[in-house]
Amino acid sequence: MIKLADVSKTYKNGVNALYNINLFIDQSEFVYIIGPTGSGKSTLIRLLDAEEKPTKGLVEVSGINVGQLRHSKIPFYRRHIGVVFQDFKLLPSKTVFENVMYALEITNMNPLLARQRVREVLQLVDLTEKSSHYPNQLSGGQQQRAVIARAIANKPRILIADEPTGNLDPQKSGEIIQLLERINREEKTTILMVTHDIGIVNQYKKRTIALEAGHIVADMVEGGYIQHESNHSTI
């Protein structure tokens, strides 16, 4: 499903973000990606989202060589992956409903079916009452859920969530995880969740990949995480 073979990324300004990453994630897996700031998590997402090209190696998603995608083909690729951005990226001049609708309009979906699907996902993320609100009228958690609704509206094969619980309290965070679990279970969507939140990783145990300074330092299928002080000991 997702395959990274020998992937390195060096930015134009000389910053090395990833070194020789090898990774395989299967269909309908739920994976955490953890690591400190600057460990290369965001770069990994950008590579998967076709925002950046790998300097070296192969990034393959659903059999598509993402690094080689032409500028004009990228939009079509992106419709198969939903991304929940850390900074939300909601369109400020559109309501919640329109924001979610936009993700379906771009695929030229039948408007009637599209509206129905929007209502469906808004109900799933519990935002039905806020559907005519603009993003700046929502709380952080509500915006977060709106982004999730938009990301899943198109029934993507893969959902990438960048710190989806970053600015939520523990209770709300739990709700988001449960929501993602439901999407993973019911829609068979592969989920990649980048997080800082050790609590969540320990509470909802799943395969956990730890990045540090551009290297994969641990890939724990059984999940869980032990805070490491000076060494890289993890289980």
Partner 1 sequence: MNRIIRPFKEGFIGLVRHMAMSISSIMAVMVTLFLVSLFLLLTVNLQQITTSVQSKVQIHVQILNEVSLDQIGELKREILEIPGVVQVDFSDKDKELDRFIASYGEEGKIFEMYRGEKNPLRNAFIIDVSEGELIDQVSTKIRLLDGIESVNYGGLNALKLIEILNSIRDSGLILVSVLGLLAIFLITNTIKMSIHSRMSEIQIMRTIGATNGFIRSPFLIEGILIGILGSILPIIITIFGYQYIYQSLNGVLLSSIFILRPVFPFVFELSYLIALLGISVGLLGSFISVSRYLRTVR
Residues engaged in binding partner 1 (CB under 8 A): 49-52, 71-72, 74-79, 83, 85, 89-93, 102-103, 105-108, 111, 150, 154
For residue 49, the minimal CB distance to partner 1 (Å) is 7
Separation between Cα atoms, residue 67 and residue 128, nearest integer Å: 38
- Smaller CB separation from partner 1, 85 or 225: 85
- Smaller CB separation from partner 1, 100 or 168: 100
- Smaller CB separation from partner 1, 161 or 201: 161
Give me the sign of the Cα torsion angle 147, 153, 155, 156.
negative
> Tokens representing 2?
């997702």
- Smaller CB separation from partner 1, 162 or 197: 162
Alpha helices in the chain (DSSP H): 41-48, 74-78, 96-105, 111-124, 140-153, 170-186, 198-203
For residue 231, the minimal CB distance to partner 1 (Å) is 38
> Tokens representing 76?
């079509």
For residue 6, the minimal CB distance to partner 1 (Å) is 22
Give me the sign of the Cα torsion angle 130, 168, 204, 44.
positive
For residue 76, the minimal CB distance to partner 1 (Å) is 7
